[in-house]
Amino acid sequence: MKSHISNALSDFFFEYETPRQVLVRNRRVGVVCRIIQLGVLAYIIGWVFIYEKGYQSADTAVSSVFTKMKGVGYTSINGSERVWDVADYVFPSQGDASFVVMTNYIITEGQEMGTCPELHGKHNCSTNADCEGGSFKRTGHGQMTGVCVENKTCEVLAWCPVEDDHKIPDPPMLMSAENYTLFIKNSVTFPLFGVSRSNLVEDIDAAYISKCLHHPDDAPLCPIFKLGDIVKLSGFDFETIARVGGAIGIVVDWTCNFDVDVTHCKPQYNFHGLYGNAAETDKAKASVGYNFRYAKHYMDNKVQKRTLLKVFGIRFDIIVQSLARKFDIIPTLTAIGSGVGIFGVATVVCDLVLLYLLPKRAFYKNMKFKYTDTHVQHDSELLGLEKSDYCNLEANARQVQGTGQSNDPDSEAGSTETEK
């Protein structure tokens, strides 16, 4: 028992096993093998390393965005002149990454709580029975009192007079918004690499900002944008989108390679029209544009009143995209190891061709696999020989026999076959 255990341990620690190799000289199989290997090599170099950057580790940024609008608008309605500044036309006013710039509006002044006729088309009536007191209509302005007034509409308890938004001003009231400017300040940090960057890069200083205006070719790094240029670069027509509103996405793209100096990590700005496309007519959509309402409340002779504005505007969403890469030995070795493993596909395919498709598949199978019979151990015991000595005698006998039967496909003689 001890000898078996010691022999097993000795074999485990002091012996080495290697696969049997068979050299096959066959042009078709050789060409198939090399084509597959070249394809795998092209995949590793072209896709894994060049396109997917498999030799680098990647990280996304933690980002912060600050915005500031500048510009003044002017309107004159029925002889009433008004100047609109940033506090009037930007919502919200805190400089968020998502905000709205008012370009058109419908104003209803001097509203106070009371009873008044509903707007025509909201709830028409012919008798008081058509106006159910205490009920509401989803599209109405208030609670019905149960009275049908002379203009054949139901009376409501609401902020009176009710808003009439059937006619949207055209041209837009604040076409001057085309000349407003937007300043974007963006800071990003890549935690994995410990790198922080700002869109105010090395070449941008206070003097440059005071006079620059973003242009894709002439001033691609300038962080000050003209609203008319943003709308144009997003593929929209300013007058069309200003009339009913819309949405535009501003993408700040940080795609950086930290294998070179970090000063080469600079942002790129892209503009995308989200909705409000000039090619989309009002008839093509159930709801067109972007609008909302807000009210300014005040007291007049101890009576609470308000000024209601239905605002049509352009919503800007600033989206930061980031991806930084840097060389890392771990993903490099992983990519190389997986590529070497894929090379085994060539061996599997060629073995299938040799063993199952070629006319001489029986000959190749005999060369590739070595078969052992149970009678070997029995015969060696009868002759009083060690198993290894018996196998050597049997191999020598086959070799001598093979000199006269070289065409026997089951013989190990002539193990190299050449295609004619």
Q: Which residues are annotated as a binding site?
A: 68-70, 181, 291-293, 310
Measuring CA to CA, which residue among 124, 121, 126, 156 is closest to residue 141?
A: 156
Residue 66 has a CB neighbour count (10 Å cut-off) of 14
Widest CA span in the chain: 129
The candidate with the shortest Cα–Cα distance to 99, out of 319, 270, 321, 317, is 317
- Cβ atoms 95, 88 nearer than 8 A: no
Interatomic CA distance for residues 338 and 232, integer angstroms? 47
In 3D, which of 218, 313, 232, 224 has the Cα closest to residue 271?
A: 232
Alpha-carbon gap, residue 71 to 179, rounded angstroms: 7
Tokens (6 digits) for 287: 């709801």
282-318: buried (b, 16+ CB within 10 Å) or exposed (e) per residue?
eeeeeebbbbeeeeeeeeeeeeebbebbbbbbbbbeb
Contact 118, 160 (CB under 8 A): no
- Rounded Cα distance, 118 and 125, in Å: 10
Tell me the helix, strand and coil percentages in the chain, rounded to 5.
Answer: 30, 35, 35
Residue ranges for the known binding site for ATP are 68-70, 181, 291-293, 310
Q: At what angle do helices 387-402 and 375-383 cross, to 10 degrees?
A: 110
Q: Judge whether 190 and 57 are in contact, CB under 8 Å.
A: no
Using the 8-state DSSP alphabet, how is residue 53 labeled?
-
CA distance 393 to 365: 24
The answer to whether 97 touches 249, Cβ cutoff 8 Å, is: no
Helix axes 344-356, 27-42, angle to 10 degrees: 160
How many angstroms separate the Cα of 156 from the Cα of each of 22, 113, 121, 139?
97, 10, 14, 13
